Amino acid sequence: MSKKESDKGLKGVWNLYRIEDEKIVSKRTDCPKCGRGVFLAEHPDRYTCGRCGYTKFKA
């Protein structure tokens, strides 16, 4: 690992998951239309799917 990477912190797909009780759990919400593996982007007032355009507004 270079000094540049260590200063910024690690980035990658492993930041989207966490381990609970020896199982891998997603930190983000899956799109109900597209299915597993397609995550909803989090905006200040809504969640949006970049693939199909599904939008869920925050309460």
* Listed residue (20, 47, 18) closest to 39, CA to CA: 47
Q: For the segment 4-36, what is each residue's pLDDT rounded down to a tens digit? A: 555 566 678 888 889 999 999 999 999 999 998
For residue 21, what pLDDT is reported?
Answer: 95
Q: At residue 56, does pLDDT exceed 90?
A: yes
Question: At 29, which helix (H) or strand (E)?
Answer: none
Q: At residue 57, does pLDDT exceed 70?
A: yes
Is residue 39 very low, low, confident or very high in pLDDT (cuts 50, 70, 90)? very high
For residue 34, what pLDDT is reported?
Answer: 96
* Listed residue (47, 42, 17) closest to 32, CA to CA: 47
What is this structure's pTM? 0.66
